[in-house]
């Protein structure tokens, strides 16, 4: 699975939420708790959906650059999340945890995340889910168009994962 992603610092969450609502077909609010593990390449995280008790194991690899970038990822649904966390922590070691409230909006092939990240602040992510025949460049065009609709400026863009930003 592939997508084109951007991450940006949010200046005014109320305005951004309203703009996202205007361009989306659906929305949801999710409480998430991510544990990141030590890896030799990419990132591996166990995501707990704190409202349901379920989760998913996600591996992804993408460059740590600002602006649109290609991300390749794999996901697996997880039910025995606490035991899996213990196994992964013992085998790999955990490096960080990220707790957030995610406002999820769906706009065409794009997932808009507006996140309230504990101990970090407000951020937004765009994930343009690429179709098999789409190029990265086509996904970048979609990302830039949605950035424009949301009023996200290039100077707002950040690189890295929330786990990395929390370590700084």
Q: Would you list the DSSP string of the chain?
A: -EEEEEEEE-S-HHHHHHHHHHH-SEEEEEEEEEEEE--SSSEEEEEEETTTS-EEEEEEE----SS-EEEEEEEEEES-HHHHHHHHHHHH-EEEEEEEEEEEEEETTEEEEEEEETTTEEEEEEEEE--TT--HHHHHHHHHHHHHHHT--GGGB--S-HHHHHH-
Q: In this structure, is the dihedral angle defined by the CA atoms of residues 31, 116, 98 and 70, taken in order, positive or negative?
A: positive
Q: Where are the domains of the chain?
A: 2-167
Instruction: Please give the pLDDT value at position 168.
Output: 81
Q: What dotted CATH number matches 2-167?
A: 2.40.320.10
Give the residue carrying structure tokens 């995610």. 102
Given a cut of 70, the residues of the chain with pLDDT beneath it are none
Instruction: Please give the pLDDT value at position 55.
Output: 95
153 alpha-carbon distance from chain centroid: 18
Instruction: Please give the pLDDT value at position 50.
Output: 84
Instruction: Please give the pLDDT value at position 35.
Output: 97
For the stretch 84-100, pLDDT in tens is 999 999 999 999 999 99
């Amino acid at each position: 699975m592939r997508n084109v992603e951007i991450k940006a610092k949010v200046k005014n969450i109320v305005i951004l939420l309203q703009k996202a609502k205007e361009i989306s077909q659906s929305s949801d609010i999710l409480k998430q708790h991510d544990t990141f593990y030590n890896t030799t390449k990419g990132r591996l995280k166990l995501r707990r959906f704190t409202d349901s008790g379920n989760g998913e194991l996600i591996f992804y690899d993408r460059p740590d650059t600002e602006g649109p970038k290609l991300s390749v990822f794999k996901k697996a649904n997880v039910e025995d999340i606490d035991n899996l966390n213990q196994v992964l922590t013992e085998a790999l070691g955990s490096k960080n945890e990220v707790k957030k409230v995610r406002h999820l909006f769906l706009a065409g092939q794009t997932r808009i995340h507006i996140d309230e990240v504990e101990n970090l602040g407000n951020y937004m992510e765009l994930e343009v889910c690429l179709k098999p025949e789409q190029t990265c460049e086509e996904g970048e065009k979609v990302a830039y168009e949605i950035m424009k609709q949301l009023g996200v400026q290039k100077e707002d863009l950040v690189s890295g994962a929330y786990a990395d930003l929390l370590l700084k």
